[in-house]
């Protein structure tokens, strides 16, 4: 392969395995409907998971958290048009070897009979032909129905055989010898991937059924698929690289209300600033003009509905919870684990706590701190406050201490761009539940409380920060194009330096005296 082409493939993420694109899978341990999961994956990754082979199925199973044995959404949904394709994943394209008048609707599975293809009901027992990547086509004379033949070929070889040319058609004819008919990997269905990819399937016995329109994968049944009602809430798997690290931030030193700042950012960039980590806080601080020490709006405001979430990543309470009797009672926003159960308590209490470290696991800290200070400590010295997703993890925490802070808290806030990650970076005493304390969030740039968040009235006028890229600015609106062209050159150059990681430099103008 030409090296330049190889580099392009690397950069675009389109390296191919023998079975298709080698996708990166990401398990999301939050329950959503199929449509909600699809939207989540499209915003943060590429799409809901698409699979090409049994290798993909096995890789995807390994991404699911230990201890979870339920079903997860994948990106397959019932479509409106039936299509023929091959068990190994590719659609029926240029070459066709149907008998005259076929397919006539007798069935949705394909056989090779005499010297051509015929559609037949899948329950018929017949010999079949497997494909093996090492030695080619192999005739199996033990009669099986089409689904069992497919399972056999995938277990002992690669898959049922495909025919993609007249040469392969002749080879199949020669292989059959005196056997009149054999199953091949041809089948038809209505199902389609969320990203329009075709056509690998891995249905469980008796599936697909008519009980729903969306496909889930069982982690307890070797990754087999079943049909469910799309409104059920399940964890899910996305594919593609994470988009969480590609934001660029842009500071605007002109004051607006939170709503007006939101409109400004949406019209010219992506949205108001969204943050996932302390690293994002530091990068955003670097965009603020030198010497500026007032507060700035970010894209967080109060939500209409509060929900319990974990401090780390995007994990709401889903499969596993361990509340004590009568808990949560709704009085407090932070959670301690005490004698093996969870209790909502005042965040201002001081307790020992448990951090999670990506390298070594749980770390018990005996120093007594408030929940917020414990969170800050864990983020500074480890990864975050501990999450608990199984009885085994609960035992690891309960065995060490009788009462400790864990990373669970009641969150009443949402990002303007609907981002669901639960990263929060409040200053001391916030968020406040007192009346009139405000519903919109600002970030302090003052050196004594640098980068910390607080909330106050959305009608106050502050400077603000957007996220996105100039490439995302809509030039369909001439006003937007005029706005960007009318920005001072000094401003544009400074912002470009910041986007290149050179935020400590600043361009200044002066008259040349020659």
pLDDT tens digits, 441-455: 999 998 888 899 999
**Residue 319 CA, distance from chain mean position:** 18
Say which range, 105-109, 240-244, 255-259, has the weakest mean pLDDT: 240-244
CB–CB of 398/371 below 8 Å? no
Distances (CA, A) of 198 to 41, 51, 52, 190: 19, 9, 8, 11
Q: Which residue has the tokens 């190889």?
A: 6
**Mean pLDDT, rounded, for 268-275:** 90
Q: What is the mean pLDDT of residues 67-82?
A: 86
Looking at residue 493, what is its pLDDT? 56
What would the pLDDT profile of 333-383 be if each residue is shown by its tens digit?
A: 899 999 889 999 998 899 999 998 877 888 999 999 999 899 989 988 988
User: What are the pLDDT digits (tens) for 205-245?
Assistant: 888 887 888 999 998 888 999 999 998 988 899 998 876 55
DSSP-derived letter for residue 162 is -
Q: In whole angstroms, give the CA distance from residue 268 to residue 345.
A: 43
13-80+193-239 and 248-466 share one fold: yes
CB 405 within 8 A of CB 374: yes
Look at residue 57 and tell me whether its pLDDT is greater than 80: yes
pLDDT at residue number 454: 92
What integer is the mean pLDDT of 75-89? Answer: 84
- Does position 265 have pLDDT exceeding 60, yes or no? yes
What is the pLDDT, as a whole number, of residue 156? Answer: 92
- Tell me the pLDDT band of 478, cut-offs 50, 70 and 90: very low
Q: Which of 1-15, 45-59, 423-437, 498-512 is predicted with the least confidence, judged by mean pLDDT?
A: 1-15
- For domain 13-80+193-239, which architecture applies? Roll (3.10)
Q: What is the mean pLDDT of residues 502-511?
A: 48
Query: How many residues make up the chain in this entry?
Result: 514
Q: Is the dihedral of CA 38, 42, 45, 48 positive or negative?
A: positive
pLDDT of residue 210: 75
Q: Which helix (H) or strand (E) holds 385?
A: strand 384-385
* CATH top class, domain 248-466: alpha beta
Residue 433 CA to chain centroid, in angstroms? 32
Tens digits of residue pLDDT in 283-320: 899 999 988 989 999 999 988 778 888 887 555 555 57
The domains of the chain are located at 13-80+193-239, 82-191, 248-466
Where would I find the beta strands (DSSP E) of 257-350?
271-272, 296-310, 334-338, 341-345
Give the model's confidence band at 18: pLDDT under 50 very low, under 70 low, under 90 confident, else very high: very low
User: Mean pLDDT across the chain, nearest whole number?
Assistant: 81
- Quote the pLDDT of residue 398: 77
d(CA 505, CA 329) in angstroms, rounded, equals: 52
Q: What is the DSSP string of 323-362?
A: BPTT---SS-SEEEEETTEEEEE-TTS-EEEEEEETTTEE
217 and 37 in contact (C-beta within 8 Å)?
no
Q: Are 352 and 404 in contact (CB under 8 A)?
A: yes
Give yes or no for residue 505 having a pLDDT over 70.
Answer: no
- Beta-strand (E) ranges in 33-175? 47-48, 71-86, 109-113, 116-120, 126-132, 136-144, 159-160
Residue 173 has pLDDT above 70, yes or no: yes
The pLDDT assigned to 494 comes to: 55
């Amino acid at each position: 392969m030409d090296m330049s082409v190889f580099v392009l493939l690397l950069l675009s993420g389109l390296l191919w395995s023998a079975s298709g694109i080698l996708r990166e899978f990401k398990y999301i341990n939050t329950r959503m409907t199929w449509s909600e999961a699809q939207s989540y994956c499209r915003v943060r990754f590429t799409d809901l998971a698409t699979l090409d082979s049994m290798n993909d199925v096995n890789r995807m199973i390994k991404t699911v958290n230990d201890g979870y044995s339920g079903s997860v959404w994948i990106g397959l949904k019932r479509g409106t048009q039936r299509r023929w394709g091959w068990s190994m994943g590719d659609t029926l394209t240029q070459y066709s070897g149907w008998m005259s008048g076929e397919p006539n609707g007798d069935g949705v599975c394909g056989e090779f009979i005499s010297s051509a293809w015929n559609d037949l009901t899948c329950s018929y027992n017949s010999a079949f032909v497997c494909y093996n990547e090492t030695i080619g086509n192999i005739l199996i004379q033990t009669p099986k129905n089409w689904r069992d033949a497919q399972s056999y070929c995938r277990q002992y070889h690669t898959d049922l055989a495909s025919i993609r040319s007249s040469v392969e058609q002749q080879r199949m004819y020669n292989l059959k010898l005196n056997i009149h008919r054999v199953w091949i990997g041809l089948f038809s269905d209505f199902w389609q991937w969320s990203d329009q990819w075709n056509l690998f399937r891995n249905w469980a016995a008796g599936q697909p059924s008519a009980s729903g329109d969306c496909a889930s994968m069982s982690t307890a049944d070797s990754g087999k698929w079943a049909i469910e009602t799309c409104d059920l809430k399940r964890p899910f798997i996305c594919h593609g690289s994470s988009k969480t690290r590609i934001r660029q931030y842009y500071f605007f030193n002109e004051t607006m209300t939170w709503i007006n700042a939101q409109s400004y950012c949406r019209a010219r960039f992506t949205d108001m600033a969204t943050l996932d980590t302390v690293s994002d806080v530091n990068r955003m601080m670097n965009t603020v003009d030198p010497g500026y020490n007032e507060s700035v709006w970010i894209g967080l405001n109060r939500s209409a509905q509060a929900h319990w979430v974990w401090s780390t990543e995007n994990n709401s309470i889903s499969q596993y919870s361990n509340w004590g009797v009568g808990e949560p009672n709704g009085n407090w926003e932070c959670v301690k684990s005490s004698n093996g159960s969870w209790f909502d308590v005042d965040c201002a209490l001081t307790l020992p706590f448990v951090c999670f470290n990506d390298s070594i696991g749980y770390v018990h800290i005996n120093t007594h701190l408030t929940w917020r200070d414990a969170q800050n400590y864990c983020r500074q010295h480890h990864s975050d406050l501990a999450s608990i997703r199984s009885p085994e993890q609960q035992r690891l925490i309960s065995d060490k201490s009788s009462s400790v802070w864990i990373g669970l808290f009641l969150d009443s806030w949402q990002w303007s761009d609907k981002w669901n990650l639960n990263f929060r970076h409040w200053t001391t005493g916030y968020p406040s539940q007192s009346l009139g304390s405000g519903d919109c969030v600002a970030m302090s740039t003052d050196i004594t409380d640098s980068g910390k968040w607080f909330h106050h009235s959305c009608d106050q006028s502050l400077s603000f920060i957007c996220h996105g890229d100039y490439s995302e600015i809509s030039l369909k609106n001439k006003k937007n194009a005029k706005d960007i062209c009318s920005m001072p050159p000094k401003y544009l150059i400074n912002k470009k330096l910041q986007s290149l990681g050179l935020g400590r430099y600043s361009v200044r103008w002066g008259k040349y005296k020659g």
